[in-house]
């Protein structure tokens, strides 16, 4: 089955610095890689995603890069702000023949942005 | 649009008791999922329903059963609760293959004593 490893488990940065979270996956058939943000006590919410036909995607201060050959993808947050403090989960998806998709999640990164 | 809703928000059970967690979505999504979230372990898939009328096991199905009651509703049942099932449970839904984003419900915090 699919295995997704995520590093680091905790990350502390100063406000305004950049943060990078890395994930590796095991199944070369994976075709979709979303990132979810979960604030304390809240539900996970999608912040950015990338499909296997694209190497990089950017949305304002966040970007995701994908290296299919090496089977790893990364989340980059620039100019971090206190409201970026949360747990971030990467995931890898395999499409199902019956419809829908199955996500395997990484174990999460607790990002803390310090003033 | 309420999105994905779950009931109850909190529940305490004694070992051996049973209960059903309810989930409903109003986005006309085809696929629905149940996850459990434990500290340091991310979100693990318990069961999923790719479309109305079908259900399949995920990574950690033991001790659980599901019912896809109709397109909107997907319930998770614990027949005989165990302390190892203490967790936060999230339901999620998504479109079919054309759109992969999963929308999560607010979660149910379950404690089994």
Per-residue three-class SS string for A63-107: EEEEECCCCEEEEEECCCCHHHCEEEEEEEEEECCCCCEEEEECC
Which comes out higher in pLDDT, residue A101 or B53? B53
Label residue B106 by pLDDT band (50, 70, 90). Answer: very high
The yes-or-no verdict on residue A98 having pLDDT over 70 is no
Label residue B51 by pLDDT band (50, 70, 90). Answer: confident
pLDDT of residue A38: 97
Percent of chain B with pLDDT over 90: 76
Are the C-beta atoms of B77 and B55 separated by less than 8 Å? Answer: no
Q: Could you tell me which of B60, B62, B1, B4 has the C-alpha nearest to residue B32?
A: B4
Average pLDDT for B25-33: 93
Query: CB of B59 within 8 Å of any CB in chain A?
Result: yes
Task: Provide the chain B residues 12-31 that lie in CB contact (below 8 A) with chain A.
Answer: 30-31
pLDDT of residue A34: 94
Query: CB of B38 within 8 Å of any CB in chain A?
Result: no
Nearest CB partner across the interface for B43, out of A9, A100, A105: A105
Are the C-beta atoms of B103 and A103 separated by less than 8 Å? Answer: no
The yes-or-no verdict on residue B96 having pLDDT over 70 is no
The yes-or-no verdict on residue B97 having pLDDT over 50 is no
- Neighbour-count burial for A25-43, b at 16+ CB within 10 Å, e otherwise: beeeebbbbbbbbbeeeeb
Q: How big is chain B by its Cα radius of gyration, in Å?
A: 13
Partners of residue A98 in chain B, C-beta under 8 Å:
50-51, 54
Which comes out higher in pLDDT, residue A53 or B100? A53
Cβ–Cβ gap A100/B107 under 8 Å: no
Average pLDDT for A66-88: 97
The yes-or-no verdict on residue B98 having pLDDT over 90 is no
pLDDT of residue A102: 82
Are the C-beta atoms of B85 and B63 separated by less than 8 Å? Answer: yes
Least confident of A86-90, A97-101, B38-42, B82-86: A97-101
The yes-or-no verdict on residue A56 having pLDDT over 90 is yes
SS3 call for B7: strand
Cβ–Cβ gap A102/B43 under 8 Å: no
pLDDT of residue A2: 73
The yes-or-no verdict on residue A95 having pLDDT over 80 is no
């Amino acid at each position: 089955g699919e295995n997704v490893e995520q590093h680091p488990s905790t990350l502390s940065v100063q406000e305004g610095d950049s943060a990078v979270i890395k994930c590796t996956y095991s199944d070369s058939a994976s075709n979709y890689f979303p990132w979810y943000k979960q604030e304390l006590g809240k539900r996970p919410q999608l912040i950015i995603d990338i499909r296997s036909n694209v190497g990089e995607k950017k949305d304002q201060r966040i970007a995701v890069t994908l290296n299919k050959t090496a089977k790893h993808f990364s989340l980059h947050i620039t100019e971090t702000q206190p409201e970026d403090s949360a747990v971030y989960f990467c995931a890898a998806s395999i499409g199902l023949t019956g419809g829908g998709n199955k996500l395997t999640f990484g174990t999460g990164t607790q990002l803390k942005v310090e003033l | 649009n309420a999105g994905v809703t779950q009931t109850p928000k909190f529940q305490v059970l004694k070992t051996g008791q049973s209960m059903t967690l309810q989930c409903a979505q109003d986005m006309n999504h085809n696929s629905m999922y149940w996850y459990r979230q434990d500290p340091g372990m991310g979100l693990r898939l318990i069961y999923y329903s790719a479309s109305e009328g079908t259900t399949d096991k995920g990574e950690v199905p033991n001790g659980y059963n599901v019912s896809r009651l109709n397109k909107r509703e997907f319930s998770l049942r614990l027949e005989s609760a165990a302390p190892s099932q203490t967790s936060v449970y999230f339901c999620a839904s998504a479109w079919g293959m054309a759109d992969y984003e999963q929308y999560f419900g607010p979660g149910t915090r379950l404690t089994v004593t």
